Amino acid sequence: MSIRVQFEAQLRECSGVRETTVEADSISLRDLFVALGQQFGQDFCRRILDDQQQPRRSLLVFVNDASVTASDFETRQLNSDDVVTLYPPISGG
């Protein structure tokens, strides 16, 4: 199955893409983050995962049109054709 992942703001800049597709048989949100971290390198990885490889809580994550709270990152399983959007914190003023 394939999961579409969309990036906003700095995550576009350090991945170099607006969106990508991840192929997997069965995948949780956390494992998706790990796969994305491996694909897009250190700077990108640090923005979505902490030193323990846990998803950062200060990331707004949407699956399709619903938000996913940080406590569900580990357990939330993704389905084929889900669209995941990652919104990083911004503070420009």
Residues that bind another protein (CB under 8 A): 8-10, 13, 43, 46-47, 50, 56-58, 60, 62, 66-67, 69-70, 87-93
CB of 88 to another protein, least distance (A): 7
CB proximity list for 44: less than 8 A, separation 6 or greater: 11, 14, 15, 36, 37
CB of 28 to another protein, least distance (A): 20
**Closer CB to another protein, residue 25 or residue 65?**
65
**Closer CB to another protein, residue 18 or residue 75?**
18
Which residue is associated with the tokens 């949407």? 62
CB half-sphere exposure, 69, CA atoms < 13 A: 1
**Closer CB to another protein, residue 20 or residue 24?**
20
Question: DSSP 3-state assignment of 79?
Answer: coil
User: Which one, of 1, 20, 18, 2, lies nearest residue 10 by Cα?
Assistant: 18
CB of 53 to another protein, least distance (A): 14
